[in-house]
Structure 1
């Protein structure tokens, strides 16, 4: 454990910053995974509700989507309630659009932070490497004729440590941001499909 601590500290303050970024991104990834759980589900429930709506059983259709967990369920229920109250299609579609935007904004929140971590971590690692190399060659210059290969090698590996640390932080953050964004996109697609099916009168079976 002490050897690991010494190795980390040898990378300088930039490695400490990268460790903080890593811990923060891991916590954020776990929070987003929990938040996005189930946002693309509920297909069978929506299909049954839209089918009931198409068959004229509006009360059963609206009731089927009560307590819905996914954004598509909530938007579909809002659309049904608006149509049931006799609202005109144009203003109802405008309301559903902003409701959908609100839902998606909540799902997308903080994903940009992961993208930022993925972008700046390699740059911080590179900065640490450059600074470390400068320091290593300064020590080499000061040593003059007493310099040896081990002195230079030690400075170089400590400098390269920050590049490795930057990549180790950036790769998981980039992968997580991509996967989470893709899940949000799928949730948005399900919103559009459910509202489209409702307005067109299809039951979604096909």
Structure 2
């Protein structure tokens, strides 16, 4: 987690420096720096910096989470297949319980319901796959939120800066010169440009990672279904493979049968 955050911060700073260095040349006789451009954007630049860091962190994090070897680790698949071939469903459940991958979570849910028949097992598989998909899709949706909000934040800073620039024009008239007014307008547009620089890659990453996630989910579901395809449900009927503690009991107003 810390490595991902550091990488996000480093990539964000490098991208911002490169973009401003190419898009905003210095005025004649004046050396333009990144810090000056940042200051020209106003207070909203702090919020845009946070948005850019969050965007890069989300891209790196989701990219790693949606990799097929991360979603469906070959070692977990091989372990589950070996246990199923040996008929060791309890051992398969314990192995998947010790693993931390989405594949292990899906298989564990299926094994927990295998004693209730094929329909219950498939329902458990599909519901767990939907849960994994929903969790990752929520993270991806944050990129869309950043893509929508970043230009609006930049525009807010530009509007505030333009208000000050035209307020100065109203008090001083044109005595200060049109060139100085144009310079002020150019400065306040930094916030809008920064908002767009954040929004464009955020939207691009949103669509790319969304499609990448769907491919990984389809692979996860396919591997899980293949594992349970020929499960001997008739022999597993009413068995508790998971051997987890249960809390349901007869109502306390009913006498439990003796013996």
Place the TM-score, normalised by the shorter chain, in its bin: 0.7 to 0.9
Cα distance change on mapping 1:19 and 1:184 into 2, 3 Å: same
Aligned to 1:165: 194
Q: Distance in 2 between matches of 1:48 and 1:197?
A: 14
User: Aligned-pair RMSD on alpha carbons?
Assistant: 3.5
1:76–1:191 Cα contact (<8 Å) kept: no
Equivalent in 48, 60, 75 of residue 106 of structure 2: 75
Cα distance change on mapping 1:50 and 1:114 into 2, 3 Å: same
| Match status 1:99 vs 2:123 | no
Q: Aligned pairs, how many? A: 198
| Match status 1:22 vs 2:14 | no
In the alignment, structure 2 segments of 5+ residues that lack a partner are 1-30, 231-259
| Match status 1:33 vs 2:63 | yes
Which is helix-richer, 1 or 2? Answer: 1
| Match status 1:11 vs 2:32 | no
Q: Distance in 1 between matches of 2:137 and 2:154?
A: 27
Provide, for residues 87-140 of structure 1, a one-character-per-residue CA deviation record: whole Å limited to 9, x for no partner: 312222222222223322333343222221111001111222222222222222
Q: Distance in 1 between matches of 2:75 and 2:47?
A: 46
2:41–2:188 Cα contact (<8 Å) kept: yes
The 5 A counterparts of 1:57-72 are 58-59=87-88, 70-72=101-103
Aligned to 1:204: none
Q: Which one is further off, 67-76 or 44-53?
A: 44-53
> TM-score w.r.t. structure 1 length?
0.73
> TM-score w.r.t. structure 2 length?
0.61
1:132–1:159 Cα contact (<8 Å) kept: yes
2:113–2:124 Cα contact (<8 Å) kept: no
The structure showing larger relative contact order (alpha-carbon pairs under 8 Å, at least 6 residues apart) is 1
Q: Distance in 2 between matches of 1:192 and 1:23?
A: 33
In the alignment, structure 1 segments of 5+ residues that lack a partner are 202-206
Displacement after TM superposition at 1:36 (Å): 3.1
